[in-house]
Amino acid sequence: MKVELKKAHLSEAKENLICVFLMQGEEPPYDVKRFLHDVKKQRYEGKLLQTYSADTRNDAKFKHLLIVGLGKKEEFRADFLRRAAGVAVRYAASRKENEVAMHLPSNFIARNELLGMVQAMAEGALLASYKFNEYKTKKEDLFDVVKAHIVSEEDVAEGVRLGTIYAESQNYSRRLDEQPANVATPRMVAEAAKRLAREYSLSISVFGRDRLRKMKANGILAVSMGSAHEPLLIRLEYNRGKHYPLYCIVGKGVCFDSGGISIKPSANMHEMKYDKSGAINTLGIFMAVAQLKLPIRLVGLMPMVENMPSGTAQKPGDIITAYNGKTIEVLNTDAEGRLILADALALGAEEKPECMIDMATLTGAMVVSLGRHAIGMFSNDDALSDALIVAGEATHERVWRLPLWPEYGELMKSDFADMKNISEVPEAGSITAAAFLKEFVGETKWAHLDIAAVDMVKWPHPYLDKGATGIGVRLVTAALVSLAKKK
């Protein structure tokens, strides 16, 4: 679907379906007010995402009207427009309308906020239009809305452009992350990264098992020992060789996580295809950054493996030496993400970036601590944390900072090696995992984003369909935009 600006008055909209977003108690625009005959009968009050629909009976240029409530004015935030746009697009799809027009509600929005609100509308519409139908065979049963117009008399084309870049980059990640493990092998993801590099003039290197052995990236090698698929490390770079500030993104890429010898319960194990979300989101971020033409250099490191049980798999009790020389006692082979990230973070630190951000579906404990509405953030730098918090509020991909006190690091010390990969105290699992990662970043300014609670959705959402979410793409992109402006 495409989102376009239609610079016109509401009365000039000629699409079959037009959607108007109203605050609770707000007076409707004159052009639609005359069609609100049975508001009381439909019990429409303007509550958030409450809808009212009516046919115009050929008494207007548009044929059908949808009103979507935005709730109380004092509670309004930009994400309500994302949600309302998502409701509008899905309503259009249910009516099998090829096009839908959405009116920009500018009467309560300050002029300096218009572009951001339009961006939110464009994002909501495009994110809601996404469907993963690649493996559906009855294509005649599928329907997609082709175009969404944002109707406004204001010149807000830049908001549409930005919303399109952010949302399409997120949808790109969602499509790739949704691929099942028999398709999305480490090699397949590397090929996707190569296509992205060609399209956006990125530099790319892909290191296989032999190169990883020479590098002594033993964390990546150890996790992959039980799999028939070769481990790979993907390195992407944007604006290589240019004199811009350098930033680094590291993404966990476990194409399927069975738990290895410490095998997971069978219930919901199919969801472990999403254990590559951090790496896939990294590709989406590169797609967005390249289109935005940010004045930065960006390096992305994506260790891609499969964690499987076999006669050659790593075993509980094994001791490995990570890339930076630290020894790790593997007490649980299902705590594998931190092993591959250890090598990648140490490599990233060698690049000497301004800061480094990693994304990982790292711990199930994150779902317990924060539920499904926030990303757990851990950092050694306040300014970087603040940038991610602000970006999280703007994108509604919110983060919550948790502590990294020295006491948590003490829990990761091993009796037989420098460290162990899990704490033997059944507490603070997400924090101790972050404390483990902190040992591999050196003096680099760093933030760890544990996206294990938000990488997928199971229940209805106003603009995210069931499955992979791509959450983290817009968040980190917005943070990089902010950081670039400060340099």
**Looking at the annotation, which residues are catalytic?**
264, 338
Alpha carbon distance 437, 179 (integer Å): 28
Tokens representing residue 467 in the block:
């499955």
Burial category of 25 from C-beta neighbours within 10 Å (exposed 0-12, middle 13-18, buried 19 and up):
exposed
Tokens representing residue 285 in the block:
């971020």
Whether 300 contacts 286, CB under 8 Å? yes
Whether 83 contacts 49, CB under 8 Å? yes
Instruction: Characterize 234-244 residue by residue with b for buried, 16 or more Cβ atoms within 10 angstroms of its Cβ, and e for exposed.
Output: bbbbbbeeeeb
| 238, containing H or E segment | strand 232-238
Residue 216 CB neighbours (<10 A): 15
Interstrand relation of 467-468 and 456-457 (parallel, antiparallel or unpaired): antiparallel
Alpha carbon distance 364, 429 (integer Å): 8
Tell me how far CA of residue 455 lies from CA of 66, 84, 132, 274, 356, in angstroms: 31, 22, 15, 7, 20
Best CA proximity match to 188, nearest among 222, 230, 218, 237: 230
